[in-house]
Amino acid sequence: EALHELRASIYTCLTNGMILSLQALLLRSREKLKKEQL
């Protein structure tokens, strides 16, 4: 039971981290595109 909860929380942390890094990459690529268009 405790192990399952621990695994679930680790999985949630990893998922949140991946989402945040993906959003950061998207923002960075958007800024690059804007600079190239100008």
Could you report the per-residue pLDDT of 1-38, keeping only the tens digit for each? 899 999 999 999 999 999 999 999 999 999 999 888 87
> Does the pTM exceed 0.85?
no
3-state helix, strand, coil in the chain (%, to 5): 95, 0, 5
Residue 33 in tokens? 């595109």
Placement of tokens 């405790």 in the chain: 2
pLDDT at 36 (0 to 100): 87
Q: Can you give the pLDDT at residue 18?
A: 98
Structure tokens at 25: 């990459």
